[in-house]
A and B are shown apart, each in its own frame.
Chain A
């Protein structure tokens, strides 16, 4: 009767690394000298993120976020900020695309070391309604980068 054996999928979704970032978010806070600020929320579930970056000559120098939401959205935001320092804007956008590919179930992306801790979120691709949680901070980043170049 119980054919799907859900528990392994759930354990893959809620790995310790994800809960660690959820409970001890990295780079949480605000920047006084931000060059880019974006606030995004998901009106369906109420997840929120305020993302701030300081970009100097197309290179991300500092990044901070303040957010409220589920473990997936907040861990994704925390992990993202770890990766962005000293990246160029095109590199940041390429990372966002890689992250999006992993959420679509792309196995190569899920093994890509460039995604760092974010690879722990690969299991989210098995939970379609939660993909938007994982991508919320990345959508904020993409919006910020586009606004900056506009």
Chain B
């Protein structure tokens, strides 16, 4: 059993009151709250280590560079990357995917090629591919999802018949909580020669990620969704692929030699890290990873699955509530995200009513408008759990939903 109460006590923000109630934070798929250990690591970096990295010849700058590169090694080990050179620090998942589309995609895609995405991709793993395909005259193929919110593998098989150059999908759906069979999908895509891009924004915080076993080609993650600071994240790639790619942003740090009219470029990963990087973010992210590893990713996944299963059971007992995505007995196929609607009460009205009880949920399209169309809803309400949530939070959610129902004339069963 995971000691969620101790973890909650570790996060200063969660001690706050909201509208006169204990803050019940259930919007973890959007961002997570930070333990004191992460806040301390950031402050400590600025108090003792701050200097520009990879430049200074003095001891302080060397210590800053060491801290930054140690963070890279921490990220690499955390997801079992191919090597630390394959870890490019980015602002987050969105920038990481844009880097792949803007560099690898732009260099390899030609008119008539196809790129495959899924009907459950976040806009950040969709719009960069739309932009790329429009620029290249390539086709973007969106794979259907099944009724219970999984990638439709038979439609995926049909999409592969065109021998796409790139296949992109989310490991875990931010809107439905579906844990996709990533290794299986990567294998199928590789069999037709596609390069595989995995959106890891929702998987890295919640399930044990082993990239060498998963065998994708590119993997994007965000630090702020896993107890780390905003503006931290990484693209993790197979080093040979990364090495062959043209630069993404030009500037300092990414060069080797610069002449009047051309330049040669630095080695990976530095070739993709133009300008002064977010060292504070990298250091904070490494501290967050240390914190998560002390809890244990397997226990985190188990804890969230249990909370999600309880929440689904409690919510579906309320007449009029519909929960989307894999059912309560999906086990490890479902992470701690519970998307739902309640009769004709609009999700924004639900969010406003829950907020009065100090409960933070997300209401809207969750940056997945194509998915919302497939589910035939304009929006859903979404509760998403993390390490500091407990059964008391599920109780608060269910109780406040009954209140919302009463305001809209629904009678509790």
Contact = CB atoms under 8 A, between A and B. Distances in A.
Interface of A: 1-7, 9-11, 13-14, 19, 22-23, 44-48, 68-72, 127, 129-130, 133
A130 B379 CA distance: 16
B20 A3 contact: yes
Interface in B338-377: 344-349, 352-353, 356-357, 363-365, 369, 372
B112 to A, nearest CB: 33
Given A4-B20, A69-B378, A19 B348 contact: no
Among B17, B346, B378, find the residue whose CB has the most chain A CB atoms closer than 10 A: B346
B364 A46 contact: yes
B19 A133 contact: no
A14 B350 CA distance: 11
A48 B365 CA distance: 13
B46 interface: no
Contacts of B357: 6
Nearest to A11: B407
Interface residues of B, number: 24
Interface of B: 17, 19-21, 344-349, 352-353, 356-357, 363-365, 369, 372, 378-379, 407-409
B20 A133 contact: no
B351 to A, nearest CB: 9
A1 B17 CA distance: 9
23 contacts: A2-B21, A4-B19, A4-B20, A5-B20, A6-B19, A6-B356, A10-B407, A11-B407, A19-B408, A44-B364, A45-B364, A46-B364, A46-B378, A46-B379, A68-B378, A69-B346, A69-B378, A70-B346, A71-B349, A71-B408, A127-B352, A130-B352, A133-B348
A56 B149 CA distance: 50
Interface centre among B21, B348, B364, B408 (most CB of A within 10 A): B348
B346 to A, nearest CB: 4
B20 A6 contact: yes
A129 B351 CA distance: 11
Given A14-B353, A71-B345, 5 more contacts: A4-B20, A6-B357, A46-B379, A71-B349, A72-B349
A14 B408 contact: yes
A10 B20 CA distance: 14
Nearest to A130: B352
Nearest to B372: A46
B222 to A, nearest CB: 20
Contacts of A69: 346, 348, 378
B47 to A, nearest CB: 37
- Nearest 10 interchain pairs by C-beta: A6-B356, A70-B346, A70-B348, A2-B20, A4-B20, A14-B407, A68-B378, A46-B379, A46-B365, A71-B349
A13 B21 CA distance: 20
Nearest to B22: A1
Nearest to B346: A70
Contacts of A46: 364-365, 369, 372, 378-379
B408 A9 contact: no
A7 B378 CA distance: 27
A6 B17 CA distance: 14
A52 to B, nearest CB: 20
B343 to A, nearest CB: 11
A148 B7 CA distance: 59
A142 B358 CA distance: 36
Nearest to A44: B364
Contact of B363 (A3, A9, A45, A68): A45
A140 B356 CA distance: 30
A132 to B, nearest CB: 11
A71 B20 contact: no
